[in-house]
Amino acid sequence: MSRSYPPDATLTVPVKATHAQKIAWESAAGRHGKATAGAFLAWAGDLYLALLYAYRDAVEAHDDSLEGPGGAERRRREREAARQDGEGER
Amino acid sequence: MRLKTASYTVRATTAQAVAWNRAAQAHGHASTGSWIAEAVDRYLDALKKAGKPLPLAWNRFGRFRVKLMDGREVEVPGRTSPPFGIFRGNAMGPLGSGAGRHSLAFLPEARIIATLASEKHCKELASDLSRVWVRWGGQVPAEDPAPLLQRFQRENV
């Protein structure tokens, strides 16, 4: 397990913390085998997103299974359209 | 409003920066940094909740049988939450009210699982074991409980 995360980073993101967050993050960094709190923040941010997307995929697959094959295709088109709308707004 | 007292620099690849930026916008954060802070706090919170023992409901005035080290099987007073029971004492037998030792027993076999420093520790061990029991559909699990017991014995030192 790499103690620096990610190894090929070129950008930086500033993150501010309260005293309580500082203590919690630095302790968690040690428990997760990360060299710095910053490395832990990057790793946890990625993990949080991966878990969020996996959860959404599972919910969508479950909803699709309830609606049958026609409903699943309709829902897929709706999601695709919503995604494109969202990207257009950005 | 919480006072920010520390600042961290998080190193990121371009792909990470794009993904975090999108997530920050989607979740209504003014900056990527504030999104990371919230994501990490949520992750740590979920981790803490996942490790909490499942509280079992305990009957205060139960009586059950346990097998002692010398081979005798005796009835002891204690708390019960089937299939577990907790009594004041150890594998030698029940102890008086001043004794600090409590034992967790598996009632269907009248077997003492562990002797710990407090009733609270016995309840926590029962909670942890009940997770294993649930995985095994209410049957006595075939997997080795030694690591779980060792952790509780270690924390009791």
Q: What is the ipTM of this complex?
A: 0.73
- A37: nearest CA in chain B? B8
Inspect the interface and report whether the beta carbons of A17 and B8 lie closer than 8 Å. yes
Inspect the interface and report whether the beta carbons of B5 and A18 lie closer than 8 Å. yes
Q: Mind listing the pLDDT tens digit for each residue in B79-100?
A: 999 889 999 999 998 888 777 7
Supply the pLDDT for residue B19.
93
Give the residue with greater pLDDT, B133 vs A7: A7
Q: Name the pTM for this structure.
A: 0.55
Structure tokens at A68: 């049958």
Inspect the interface and report whether the beta carbons of A17 and B9 lie closer than 8 Å. no
Answer for the pair B131, B55: CB distance below 8 angstroms, yes or no: no
Q: Mind listing the pLDDT tens digit for each residue in B9-22?
A: 999 999 999 999 99
Q: Which residues contact B4 (CB under 8 A, 6 or more apart)?
A: A16, A17, A18
Mean predicted confidence (pLDDT) in B105-120:
91
d(Cα A25, Cα A31) in Å, to the nearest integer?
A: 10
Q: Mind listing the pLDDT tens digit for each residue in B42-55?
A: 999 888 777 666 78
